[in-house]
Amino acid sequence: MLNVKRLLFACVLFIFATSSKAQEGLELGGWAGISYYFGDLNTDFYLGSPGLAAGISGRYNFNDRLCIKLGANYGNISGDDANSQNTFQQTRNLSFKSVVFDGTAQFEFNFLPYVHGSKDQYYTPYLFTGISTYYFNPKANFDGEWVELRPLGTEGQFRGDEYYSIRGAVAFGGGFKIDLNYEWSINVEISTRKLFNDYLDDVSGNYPDLDDLESLRGPLSVSLSDRSVEVDGIDAPIGQVGRQRGNINDNDKYTFIGVGLMYYFGDLRCPTYSR
Query: pLDDT, tens digit, for every residue of 244-268?
Result: 999 999 999 999 999 999 999 976 5
Is 258 part of a structural domain of the chain?
yes
For residue range 83-129, list pLDDT tens digits in order: 999 999 999 999 999 999 999 999 999 999 999 988 999 999 999 99
Whole-angstrom CA distances from 17 to 8, 144, 266 are 14, 61, 20
Examine the pLDDT at 270 and tell me if it is beyond 80: no
- Give, for 16, the enclosing helix (H) or strand (E): helix 2-18
Residues with Cβ within 8 Å of residue 53, at least 6 apart in sequence: 32, 33, 34, 35, 73, 74, 75, 76, 256, 257, 258
**Least reliable range by pLDDT among 62-66, 164-168, 204-208, 267-271:** 267-271
Residue 250 belongs to a domain: yes
- Asked whether residue 13 is assigned to any structural domain, the reply reads no
Give the per-residue pLDDT at 11.
Answer: 47
Residue 11 maps to a domain: no
- pLDDT averaged over every residue in the chain: 90
Number of domains the chain contains: 1
pLDDT for position 18: 44
Any idea what the CATH number is for the domain that residue 48 is in? 2.40.160.20
- Does pLDDT of 134 surpass 50? yes
- The half-sphere exposure of 87 on its side-chain side, counting CA atoms within 13 A, is 7
**Within a domain: 272:** no
pLDDT (0 to 100) of residue 6: 53
Chain centroid to CA 18: how far?
A: 34
Query: pTM higher than 0.85 for the full model?
Result: yes
* pLDDT value for 235: 80
Residue 25 has pLDDT above 80, yes or no: yes
Domain span holding position 73: 21-266
Q: Tell me which range, 2-16, 125-139, 239-253, is most confidently predicted by mean pLDDT.
A: 125-139
Q: Is the pLDDT of residue 182 over 80?
A: yes
Q: Which residues are within 8 A (CB) of 272 and not within 5 positions of it... i.e. 6 or more apart?
A: none
> Looking at the predicted structure, is the pLDDT value of residue 130 above 50?
yes
Average pLDDT of the residues in 216-229: 96
- Res. 5: pLDDT tops 60: no
Alpha carbon 122 to its chain's center: 29
Residue 274 domain flag:
no
* Predicted pLDDT of residue 232: 81
Cα separation, 204 vs 150, in Å, equals 12
pLDDT, tens digit (0-9, with 9 covering 90-100), for 26-67: 999 999 999 999 999 999 999 999 999 999 999 999 999 999
Residue 4 lies in a domain: no
Within a domain: 273: no
Mean of pLDDT values over 192-205: 97
For 170, residues 6+ apart whose C-beta sits below 8 A from its C-beta are: 129, 130, 131, 132, 193, 194, 196
In the structure, what pLDDT confidence band is assigned to residue 15 with cuts at 50, 70 and 90? very low
To the nearest whole percent, how much of the chain has pLDDT over 90? 83
